[in-house]
Structure formats: C-alpha cells, structure tokens
Amino acid sequence: MISPGSTLGVLGGGQLGRMLAHAATRLGYRLHVYEPQENCPAGEVATREFNSPYKNVTRLQEFAEGCAAVTYEFENVPVKPLWEIEEVVPLRPRWEVLETCQNRAREKNWLKKNGFPHVTFAEVEVGGDLAGAIRRVGLPCVVKTADFGYDGKGQLKVRTPAGAKAAVKAFARQRAVVEQFIDFKCELSVIVARNPQGEVKTFPVAENIHTKHILDFSIVPARIDPVIQAEAAELARNVADAFGLVGVLAVELFLEDSGRLVVNEMAPRTHNSGHWTIDGCLTSQFEQQVRAVAGLPLGSTEMNQPASVMVNILGDHWRWENKALVGTPDWTALLAHSRAKLHLYGKAEPRMGRKMGHFTITGTDVASTFKLAKSIKRSL
C-alpha cells in the first residue's frame, strides 16, 4: 500500500488529470503531472508540473523517480519510453494495457483472443487492400484509423460502393480497421476499478448519448433492463481481470436490438462518461483511481441519489459571431439551481467542439432529472 502523504504521478495534463489532482490531494497525496504543453489544466492544481515531450526519457525518469506510482489520464502516450521508466516506478495500469487500448486493431484482436463479444472487423496495413477488407466485412461498415482516434475523429462510415472508393482514397496512407456497422438500441459504458490485491468494483452503468460523435449526455442508471445492467457490469469485471488491471478502465459497449452486448472500445483511465460520479456517488471515479493505484481498499460505488445526468459543456456554448468569440455562456440558471453542479476545466481558449467543462444534475428519478438537465443546457 502507498500511504497518503506519498507522491503519485500522472501522464497527461488535461481535465482528467485536473480532477485526479483534486481527488488525490483531498486524500493527502501529492500529485506530479507530466505533460508536454505548459500551463495545462492539471498542472494548475497539481503539486508539480513537468513539461517536456513524452519521448524525453531523461526527463521522464526524473519525473518517475519522484513518484511512488504512475498512472495515466491520456492513452495516446508513446509506449516505448515507458519501458525505461517501469524499471524506476510501478506503472498502473501496465504499459501493455495502454498499448492494447491505444490501437484499434490490437484492441479488437485482444477482445477476440480473450473471448469477449465484439463486432466483425478486418485490419489493413499501410498500402494494404482496404477495398478487399470492406468487401469482406460488408456494407454498411465503418473505416477507422488504427491509431489515435477519439470523439469520432479518424473514422468514416461507408454505406455504398462509391463511399468505399472514397474511404480507400482517404485512408491510403494509414493503418486502418474496418468494422461492421451494427444497429443498436443505445451506447453504454461501465467504469471498472481493480487494485493490486485483485479487488474489483464497477460503477453503475451509464447510458451515453452522443452528438456529432462527442458525448453529450450520460444518464445513470441506464434506461435498460436491470438484467442487462448486471451483464454489462460483469463483462467489465471480466475484462479487468483478463488484463490483470491495476487502476481504472472504461469499457464502452453497444446494446444491440437483440439484447446482446458488444464491447466497442476501452480506455485505461477515467472517462468522460464517469464524470457524474463526482457528485453522484459516494466515491468518484477519480478517487477510485487514486485508491486503485495506491493499493488502498476500493471505495463504495453507491449512488447518492437514485438518478444522475452529466452534460458536457463544449466551446460551442460560448458566444460566437462569424467564428469570432464574443461572449461566455450564461451560467445564471445553472448556478441558481440547487441540484446542478458546475465543473469547468481551466482551459484558456474555448474552441468549437472542445470540452470546456461539464455539469451534473442529481434527482429522484431518471425522467425528471434528464428533463431538467436538457432545460439547463438550453439556457447556456
């Protein structure tokens, strides 16, 4: 066990690291942040900030030597430099988990190898036969870059032969994964934590609504059969055990019309769809990450209220005229409501589509809580 008063490290300095710093310092830990960009959101509230490229092994080792354990808030960290620092400090989760989750082909192959439900897929190397892969998977399908995709970036839905030709041209110089497009009732996610002693806990299943490929609302508990909720939680626990996870993992799922659950993606860190836990649970996903990484007993994932809804606040909510920023959102209705909790991420520059913050509404039932969340979002 790494006792409170020790120093933990996090690779990545965005909003997830910022909220991790809040949780860590509240438990009495110091948090060091390693982030290539200066003045990052996490660095603003951390004990110490290291600014250097991830490939600067000397600087990474200096960072690692000051920490009792290191975790992630960002999965697109180059893996090779981590081989050096794992000799200095425990990496939680292990770099192998990070490497698997940051590449769609490795991720799908891992799911296949370990017997977890996944969509039909085909992988294509640079210069490979993408047209043939599309024919094998069938239309409609989704073509995705193998590396570094998030929030809908690096992917293209293909519905027609003409669309297939366009995809071949667009992805000609990239490794790609072709995935079968499936009809689904809803998108779900489960945040699961596992500590070094093998204790595993899941948070209640979230139902996620996306707009333009970016998470818009997370509704908890998900509006699905309790039996399927239990199946989703069990699936996430099994994934964590199969990885030998130490830390926090987000498991994103599709619920097919047939009632079958399919794993879509995994992220070895806290997740946007788990932000509601800060206000909606006895233990937030960020405190749980600290507990798992430090080897503490995991906290209770019991909800404070029967329902929670999280709403992302994007740069779109700022006032724009002819692409020029002219004003901030109107926070009045949000701040005036007793059940609304605002979280801003300390980002200096709003941009369209950029996640600037979120707010959470808690309530006694999902329907009225979701209705209130939508109303307050419109007021911004």
Under a CB-based contact definition with an 8 Å cutoff, are residues 223 and 290 in contact? no
Residue 141 CB coordination number (10 Å): 27
User: Residue 372: its pLDDT value, please?
Assistant: 98
Distance CA(107)–CA(341), nearest Å, equals 35
What are the pLDDT digits (tens) for 310-351? 999 999 999 999 889 999 999 999 999 999 999 999 998 999
Residue type, 196: P
Return the percentage of the chain with pLDDT > 70, whole number: 98
Distance CA(378)–CA(24), nearest Å, equals 34
What are the pLDDT digits (tens) for 43-73? 999 999 999 999 999 999 999 999 999 999 9
Q: Is 182 helix (H, G, I), strand (E, B) or coil?
A: coil
How far from chain centre, in Å, is Cα 85? 24
What are the pLDDT digits (tens) for 67-121? 999 999 998 899 999 998 999 999 999 999 999 999 999 999 999 999 999 999 9
Say which DSSP state 204 is in: P
What pLDDT band is residue 127 in, cutting at 50, 70 and 90?
confident
Domains and CATH numbers, the chain: 7-91 (3.40.50.20), 120-180 (3.30.1490.20), 184-379 (3.30.470.20)
